[in-house]
Amino acid sequence: MSTPDKLTPVDNPPWWKLPIVWLVIGGPATVVVAALFTAGIAIKHVDPVLDTSKGHVKSSVEEPAIQARNHAASPSMQPADR
């Protein structure tokens, strides 16, 4: 069995043929593509802003939820009537 001498050239493939390079590049590239896809969905399908200020309630069904939201945002100092 012969031992390789130091003058024998070592087979060094180009960087793009090494699998570890594609693992290192592929992870962040996948995250960037997913972020762009998510941003595209968010921009294309924007939720409408609902006007829930006092006097602009659309139906009586929404009124208890709006009162609860307003109470949670700035609760009064008195206990609720029971």
In tens, the pLDDT along 3-42 reads: 666 777 778 899 989 999 999 999 999 999 999 999 999 9
The span from the CA of 8 to the CA of 28, in Å, is 37
Q: Write down the pLDDT at residue 4.
A: 61
Q: List, for residues 65-78, the tens digit of each pLDDT value.
A: 767 777 666 666 55
Tokens of 70: 């307003």
CB 52 within 8 A of CB 70: no
- pLDDT of res. 38: 97
Rounded CA-CA distance 51/69 in Å is 14
The separation between the first and the last C-alpha atoms of the chain, rounded to the nearest angstrom, is 95
